[in-house]
Amino acid sequence: MPKIVIPTALRQYAGNTAAVEVQGATAGEVLASLTSQYPDLKKHLYDANGKLRSFVNVFINDEDIRSLQGENTPIKDSDDVSIIPAIAGGAEPLPDLSKDEIARYSRHLIMPEVGMDGQRKLKAASILLIGTGGLGSPLGLYLAAAGIGRLGLVDFDVVDHSNLQRQIVHGTKDVGRPKIQSAKDRLSDINPHIQIDTYETALRADNALEIIKPYDIVIDGTDNFQTRYLANDASVLLGKPNVYGSIFRFDGQASVFYPGGGGPCYRCLYPEPPPPGLVPSCAEGGVLGILPGIIGVIQATEAIKLIIGEGEPLIGRLLLFDALKMKFRELKLRRNPECPLCGENPTIKELIDYDAFCGITPPEPAQKVEVVSDWEVTPAQLKAELDGGCKLTIIDVREPHEWQIGNLEQYGSKLIPLGEFPSRVGELNPDEDIVVHCKMGGRSAKAYGVLKEAGFTKIRNLKGGILAWSDQVDPNLPKY
């Protein structure tokens, strides 16, 4: 019997099944047999006159039945029938454009692929941007300019000087302001005709579904694995396409995860996150300022293509970009039938604890009294000991290019990068009081472990690293 693949968004009306075997010799007959099995599906697929709704596309294998014989297209037992609902628009009539909007979007309106209808679809569409940082900046700027009718911005961060090298939606005058406020001001200035919603919060398991639900498309501009899996899972559960992008140093990736559109999800590609610390973040490893511009603009392009229904989306394809070689590569992505989220027998049916899944201890609330364990020393305490004449050996485990930005050489600090640490332990004297530090305290905690393993007992880790030293002891020491 032919098999009908049910898109995620419609599964709730089909007994939560992903695929159903049905009787029938034509496309029309198999759909009729499907809706007699699941009557709730009927109003989602057909209008009041019994006509297949215009925003529901039916594919036989990979051909749209509209390019074949429509509902009369014959079906073989071995055929796969897929129902692919359109992403935006739908039953609602498209909004009209005002005279001002027509003037503003004229370069779109004269393109046959966009035109009046496409621009009205963009106006009817809504997109949620998770993050208003490196990727969120170009995304927000171009999507606002393109006339996406409703943009949602989620971020809890404030603008910092170190953001300005790449987060071009924010300016120097915005340093210290919440990113969503700064971004909203800039985007409203670019296009006053659009609605901008702001969510000043981290996306969490207890708010993600509610925040994402009103939007047609989710765009992932996050920089951590917890939020990336959360955005993926929430998008799949709600049947929304998730436009993915990620960046590190000179390398970028982009794709569109949309099981409802026949493609895989992020979990099909990466079932599990890497252990914490294995893949450095941009804050630890750096990123070329231009790179999020390139990847973010690719994500914006994909979102617009999905809305106007033109071209070939990045569904089922992973685009890899190498800025050093200036090369794009493309990998085919397949849906994993065993995927715990979008597979045949899903085990993840609601959002989970993403910190635990990614092996992360959640950051402690800021107002909590600072607890210093006996293996750590705070910058203030270390400064007091140095001023008091204590003889201490300070070891900086960062990389040489970080040392050049700023260091504690005036206190006799010595550079041994973490990678060289195990082979250079012999240079250290276990009888001396040793303090290890890095940028924020993470890498030096690993160095601490290496020394402990080697039998050292008089070791401490500088809590918060050189950034905390700059905050608490020496504001002249540059932060990066």
Catalytic residues: 282, 438
318 touching Zn ion, by CB under 5 A: no
* Smaller CB separation from Zn ion, 270 or 411: 270
Q: Indicate which single residue of 124, 135, 230, 268 sits in contact with Zn ion (rule: CB under 5 A).
A: 268
Q: Indicate which single residue of 148, 339, 392, 435 sits in contact with Zn ion (rule: CB under 5 A).
A: 339
Binders of Zn ion: how many residues, by CB under 5 A?
Answer: 6
Q: Give the pair of three-digit tokens for residue 326.
A: 């200036």
Amino acid at 445: A
Q: Which stretch binds Zn ion (CB under 5 A): 213-221, 313-321, 342-350, 368-376?
A: 342-350
With CB atoms as reference, the residue minimizing the distance to Zn ion is 339
Measured CA to CA in angstroms, residue 319 lies from 130, 167, 221, 254, 376 at distances of 20, 22, 16, 5, 43
Given the DSSP bridges, would you call strands 327-332 and 317-322 parallel, antiparallel or unpaired?
antiparallel
Shortest CB 139 distance to Zn ion, Å: 24
Q: 61, exposed or middle or buried, with CB in 10 Å at 0-12, 13-18, 19+?
A: exposed
Q: Indicate which single residue of 267, 398, 437, 443 sits in contact with Zn ion (rule: CB under 5 A).
A: 267
Q: Which residues are CB-contacts of 217 (< 8 A; sequence separation ≥ 6)?
A: 87, 88, 125, 126, 127, 128, 240, 241, 242, 243, 303, 306, 307
CB atoms near residue 459 (< 10 Å) = 23
Q: Which stretch binds Zn ion (CB under 5 A): 59-67, 189-197, 258-266, 325-333?
A: 258-266
265 touching Zn ion, by CB under 5 A: yes
Shortest CB 8 distance to Zn ion, Å: 10
CA dist 130 and 112 (Å) reads 31
Q: Which stretch binds Zn ion (CB under 5 A): 78-86, 116-124, 266-274, 364-372?
A: 266-274
Shortest CB 347 distance to Zn ion, Å: 11
Q: Which residues are CB-contacts of 444 (< 8 A; sequence separation ≥ 6)?
A: 397, 418, 436, 437, 438, 461, 462, 465
Q: Which stretch binds Zn ion (CB under 5 A): 151-159, 313-321, 339-347, 350-358?
A: 339-347
What does residue 463 show for φ and ψ, rounded to 5 degrees? -70, 125
CB atoms near residue 474 (< 10 Å) = 14
342 touching Zn ion, by CB under 5 A: yes
Shortest CB 266 distance to Zn ion, Å: 7
CA dist 368 and 480 (Å) reads 25
The CA angle 24-28-32, to the nearest 5 degrees, is 70
Shortest CB 380 distance to Zn ion, Å: 49
* Smaller CB separation from Zn ion, 268 or 395: 268
231 touching Zn ion, by CB under 5 A: no
* Smaller CB separation from Zn ion, 151 or 236: 236
- Is there a contact between 137 and 170 (Cβ–Cβ < 8 Å)? yes
Q: Which stretch binds Zn ion (CB under 5 A): 34-42, 85-93, 273-281, 332-340?
A: 332-340
65 touching Zn ion, by CB under 5 A: no
CA dist 436 and 378 (Å) reads 12
Shortest CB 298 distance to Zn ion, Å: 22
Interface ranges with Zn ion (CB under 5 A):
265, 267-268, 339, 341-342
